[in-house]
């Protein structure tokens, strides 16, 4: 246990300790205006069981003088690279597998400065444990994230920031109003493609409402997603046992709390399109999807999306978050482009600080070359650098920032 003049910090280093914290955790998220499913027990604990490996939990619970939980920093320690230039990386729990976006430091409103100061003080006191801290895919409006950025500048710690795009649809209060906000071309497609599908097949669109059908519908999603990627000669992202374990446990947690938005489209009783989403408050996050390429001409994925959005609007959902990426298939629904913040930092004059500096200089050099060399020359140089990196496998390379491969 550590103490700052404005808060006391307790470190939870096991899933059992997180289980005991759960009621207070839920209450904190209920007061945090920007909470998302990615900061909940339902997301983070199943992720940890599936992907953590040798990582070590370092979840910091911040309490005020009355022992009320005022903030949470769900962190984990991992080692990247190999001796003698391995790095001890402190990052947000659930970062590293490319499944999580919107990772955050939930905090009680008005206590952001106390939590930020307490976090950096704890890091200074525990300097021997870590080299570099990465806070990836922070929401751009993260209250604690903004305070941490200010505190880093004041303390003159070495830090670098970058952004990743995300796309979000702000939904209207009615389906008719929402249609007015998208192009006339898309409005026409929705009606035409839906009627054409209903004329050709016996169509059923439904949400997964029974826990007993979760496994069979997830299997359908895996197969549909895999068929889509196989056409590109790639395995996709849902073939790994760890990810399937994660999705299975996650779906059950969310279903139990009526937060699972798992929809399928059936033609003559056969599932040909599926969309796996997560509901938190009045927001639904679109995590994964798949459709049968044999029915691509029937636009089954498009029809499913339109009808799901129509039903979600009727259910009171006001935000549909596509998470990372800026695909045209997302923008057509009226999505707005936003950004996540990646914040990487280290203590001054430390090994981690040197590694961050080298990484940033390498990134800047590549950016300059890409902007000044002819396209053909840059492509050749990039290919040569890739081969050299693959052969050398330098241990100083930090892991890429987190980001979702969802909606592929």
Q: Which residues, 6+ apart, have CB-to-CB distance to 391 below 8 Å?
A: none
| pLDDT tens digits for range 329-354 | 889 999 999 999 999 999 998 888 88
User: Can you give the pLDDT at residue 249?
Assistant: 98
Which backbone phi and psi does 53 adopt, to 5 degrees? 60, -125
Residues of the chain with pLDDT under 50: 378, 388-408
User: Can you give the pLDDT at residue 407?
Assistant: 33
Q: Where are the alpha helices (DSSP H) in 1-103?
A: 15-31, 41-51
User: Can you give the pLDDT at residue 399?
Assistant: 31
Is 163 exposed, middle or buried, given 0-12, 13-18 or 19+ CB atoms closer than 10 A?
A: middle
Is 54 exposed, middle or buried, given 0-12, 13-18 or 19+ CB atoms closer than 10 A?
A: exposed
User: Rounded distance, CA 241 to CA 239, Å?
Assistant: 7
User: Can you give the pLDDT at residue 186?
Assistant: 92
User: Can you give the pLDDT at residue 145?
Assistant: 96
User: Rounded distance, CA 109 to CA 105, Å?
Assistant: 12
Local structure of 331: helix, strand or coil: helix
Q: What is the pairing mode between strands 132-139 and 336-346? A: antiparallel
| pLDDT tens digits for range 259-279 | 999 999 999 999 999 999 999
Contact between residue 247 and residue 218 where contact means Cβ atoms under 8 Å apart:
yes
Q: Which residues, 6+ apart, have CB-to-CB distance to 81 below 8 Å?
A: 87, 394, 395, 396, 397
Task: Report all structural domains of the chain as residue ranges with CATH numbers, in order of start.
Answer: 2-164+340-392 (3.40.630.30), 172-317 (3.40.630.30)
On the question of a cis peptide bond just before residue 160, with omega within 30 degrees of 0, the verdict is no
Integer angstrom CA distances of residue 316 from 52, 130, 174, 344? 35, 44, 9, 37
Q: Quote the pTM value.
A: 0.86
User: Can you give the pLDDT at residue 391?
Assistant: 42
Q: What is the largest CA-CA distance in the chain?
A: 69
Residue with tokens 């929809």: 263
Contact between residue 319 and residue 172 where contact means Cβ atoms under 8 Å apart:
no
């Amino acid at each position: 246990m550590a103490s700052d003049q404005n808060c006391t910090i307790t470190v939870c280093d096991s899933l059992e300790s997180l289980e005991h914290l759960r009621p207070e955790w839920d209450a904190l998220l209920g007061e945090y205006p920007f909470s998302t499913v990615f900061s909940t027990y339902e997301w983070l604990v199943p992720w940890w069981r599936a992907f953590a490996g040798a990582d070590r939990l370092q979840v910091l619970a911040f309490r005020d003088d009355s022992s009320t939980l005022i903030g949470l920093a769900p962190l984990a320690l991992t080692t990247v690279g190999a001796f003698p230039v391995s790095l001890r990386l402190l990052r947000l729990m659930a970062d590293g597998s490319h499944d999580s976006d919107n990772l955050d430091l939930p905090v009680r409103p008005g206590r952001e400065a106390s939590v930020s100061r307490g976090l950096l003080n704890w890091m200074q006191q525990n300097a021997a444990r870590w080299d570099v801290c990465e806070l990836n895919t922070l929401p751009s409006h993260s209250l604690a994230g903004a305070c941490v950025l200010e505190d880093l500048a004041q303390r003159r710690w070495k830090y670098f920031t970058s952004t990743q795009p995300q796309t979000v649809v702000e939904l209207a209060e009615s389906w008719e109003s929402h249609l007015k906000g998208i192009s006339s071309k898309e409005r026409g497609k929705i009606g035409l493609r839906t009627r054409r599908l209903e004329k050709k097949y016996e169509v059923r669109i439904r949400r997964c409402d029974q826990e007993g059908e979760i496994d069979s519908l997830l299997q359908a999603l895996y197969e549909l997603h895999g068929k889509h990627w196989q056409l590109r000669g790639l395995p996709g992202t849902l073939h790994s046992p760890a990810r399937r374990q994660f999705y299975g446990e996650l779906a059950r947690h969310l279903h139990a709390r009526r937060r699972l938005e798992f929809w399928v489209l059936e033609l003559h009783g056969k599932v040909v399109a599926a969309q796996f989403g997560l509901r938190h408050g009045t927001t639904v996050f679109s995590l994964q999807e798949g459709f049968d390429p044999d029915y691509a001409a029937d636009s089954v994925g498009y029809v499913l999306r339109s009808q799901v959005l129509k039903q979600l609007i009727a259910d009171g959902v006001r935000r549909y978050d596509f998470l990372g990426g800026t695909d045209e298939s997302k923008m057509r629904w009226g999505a707005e482009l936003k950004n996540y913040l990646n914040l990487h930092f280290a203590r001054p004059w430390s090994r981690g600080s040197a590694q961050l500096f080298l990484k940033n200089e390498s990134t800047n050099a590549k950016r300059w070359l890409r902007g000044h060399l002819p396209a053909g020359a840059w492509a050749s140089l990039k290919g040569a650098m890739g081969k050299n990196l693959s052969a050398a496998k330098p241990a100083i390379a930090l892991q890429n920032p987190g980001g979702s491969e969802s909606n592929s």
